[in-house]
């Protein structure tokens, strides 16, 4: 099969012919139909500490068709259309039994060995228990949106929104825009999005934002005006140094900051800012099985505005260049790979 391979820091992905995968007893082989490119793929292919190991095929936001099953697979059949959770737990501990693979001690002991990769290849293997069957009404592109939307849902749920809450979302990438959608659905009042350009504005408003702030000067006053007061909740969805401190400065007294942005470098925040407001600072990453299934359910029942997040598709040959281009400012919300195009 053909696959994109991470070849090392500072080197574009390579397109290689590699052996077809074979399933272990509890795994299925998927023919990958769509795989989204995630901000974490960009981080992990550029970070010397928390990065991919050379030889890995990245890609975890995938949807595909089951083409082979391992000997212990009981639920899935060849021909099933599925998407898959990207955090692989052991399947036997209390956390896994509770639908919380992120809390699994095996995953926590070595997260980089327990993630799902392989979506930028024509086939990949996934444990059966991590697959969720796609309802017929969902396309493969819809299926590839489930994973990133589940991350946003988890982040918004970690904020424990009160009905009518004033919400400020920092960042208008796919994580931030997904957070807008869920904040709207989970009962927020006014929702403002702050970003460095107007690029995400149309989509943010479509997904439920009530204001879009694209100027970095005097953001606190802008947010106050747009929300009718300082934000009860600030969702940090940028992942750049300085953003956590900015989120803390913008939140109201005893407000909540939830960090979803993935910043892999050192950052400085001034604790007294949080102290003098008695802020709650929380972090959110990945999702529970229930949250993942909730996204499938919501997509299946409609939510056409979410499809607008999918802004383009590339084949493997165009992927290395398209992947590098995403490191610069660009107009994509979610670019997907079709490894068969």
User: 93 or 300, CB closer to Zn ion?
Assistant: 93
Minimum CB–partner distance for residue 82 and Zn ion (Å): 17
C-alpha–C-alpha distance, residues 332 and 322, integer Å: 11
CB-CB contact of 257 with 282 (8 Å): yes
239 binds Zn ion (CB under 5 A): no
326 binds Zn ion (CB under 5 A): no
3-class secondary structure, 225:
helix
Stretch that binds Zn ion, among 104-112, 204-212, 274-282, 332-340 (CB under 5 A): 104-112
96 binds Zn ion (CB under 5 A): yes
Joined tokens for residue 212:
């879009």
CB-CB contact of 214 with 150 (8 Å): no
Minimum CB–partner distance for residue 265 and Zn ion (Å): 19
C-alpha–C-alpha distance, residues 309 and 336, integer Å: 11
309 binds Zn ion (CB under 5 A): no
User: 90 or 186, CB closer to Zn ion?
Assistant: 90
| Residue selected from 30, 33, 37, 38 as contacting Zn ion according to rule CB under 5 A | 38
143 binds Zn ion (CB under 5 A): no
CB-CB contact of 201 with 212 (8 Å): yes
Instruction: Determine the Cα angle at 314 with ends 308 and 315, to 5°.
Output: 145
C-alpha–C-alpha distance, residues 313 and 53, integer Å: 26
3-class secondary structure, 94:
helix
Side-chain half-sphere exposure of 217, counting CA atoms within 13 A: 0
C-alpha–C-alpha distance, residues 35 and 6, integer Å: 16
Stretch that binds Zn ion, among 43-51, 63-71, 84-92, 212-220 (CB under 5 A): 84-92
# of chain residues touching Zn ion (CB under 5 A): 6
Joined tokens for residue 279:
């802020």
42 binds Zn ion (CB under 5 A): no
User: 96 or 235, CB closer to Zn ion?
Assistant: 96
Minimum CB–partner distance for residue 165 and Zn ion (Å): 26
93 binds Zn ion (CB under 5 A): yes
User: 38 or 82, CB closer to Zn ion?
Assistant: 38
User: 166 or 310, CB closer to Zn ion?
Assistant: 310
User: 104 or 269, CB closer to Zn ion?
Assistant: 104
CB-CB contact of 320 with 4 (8 Å): yes
150 binds Zn ion (CB under 5 A): no
Joined tokens for residue 243:
């953003």
Neighbours of 159 (CB within 10 A): 26
| Residue selected from 42, 67, 90, 186 as contacting Zn ion according to rule CB under 5 A | 90
Stretch that binds Zn ion, among 30-38, 119-127, 130-138, 260-268 (CB under 5 A): 30-38
User: 18 or 93, CB closer to Zn ion?
Assistant: 93
89 binds Zn ion (CB under 5 A): yes
φ/ψ of 245, rounded to 5, equals -65, -40
User: 149 or 207, CB closer to Zn ion?
Assistant: 149
Rule CB under 5 A: which residues touch Zn ion? Answer: 38, 89-90, 93, 96, 104
């Amino acid at each position: 099969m053909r696959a994109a391979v991470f070849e090392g820091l500072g080197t574009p992905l390579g397109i290689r012919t590699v052996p077809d995968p074979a399933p272990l007893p509890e795994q299925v082989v998927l023919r990958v139909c769509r795989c989204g490119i995630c901000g974490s793929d960009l981080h992990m292919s550029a970070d010397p500490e928390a990065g991919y190991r050379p030889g890995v095929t990245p890609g975890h936001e995938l949807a595909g068709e089951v083409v082979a099953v391992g000997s212990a697979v009981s639920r899935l059949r060849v021909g099933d259309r599925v998407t898959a959770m990207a955090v692989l737990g052991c399947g036997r501990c209390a956390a896994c039994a509770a639908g919380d693979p992120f809390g699994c001690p095996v995953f926590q002991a070595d997260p980089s060995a327990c993630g799902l990769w392989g979506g930028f290849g024509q086939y990949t293997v996934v444990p059966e228990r991590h697959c969720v069957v796609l309802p017929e009404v969902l396309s493969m592109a819809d299926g590839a949106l489930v994973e990133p939307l589940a991350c946003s849902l988890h982040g918004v749920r970690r904020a424990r929104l009160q009905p009518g809450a004033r919400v400020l979302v920092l960042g208008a990438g796919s994580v931030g825009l997904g957070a807008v959608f869920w904040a709207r659905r989970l009962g927020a009042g006014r929702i403002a999005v702050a970003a460095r350009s107007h690029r995400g504005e149309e989509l943010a408003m479509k997904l439920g934002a009530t204001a879009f702030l694209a100027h970095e000067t005097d953001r606190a006053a802008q947010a106050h005006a747009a929300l009718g007061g300082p934000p009860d909740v600030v969702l940090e969805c940028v992942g750049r140094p300085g953003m956590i401190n900015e989120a803390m400065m913008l939140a109201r007294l005893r407000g909540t900051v939830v960090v979803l942005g993935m910043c892999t470098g050192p950052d400085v925040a001034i604790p007294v800012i949080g102290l003098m407001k008695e802020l709650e600072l929380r972090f959110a990453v990945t999702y529970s099985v229930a949250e993942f299934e909730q996204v499938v359910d919501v997509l299946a029942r409609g939510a056409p505005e979410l499809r607008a997040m999918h802004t383009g598709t590339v084949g493997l040959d165009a992927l290395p260049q398209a992947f590098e281009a995403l490191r610069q400012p660009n107009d994509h919300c979610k670019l997907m790979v079709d490894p068969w195009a």
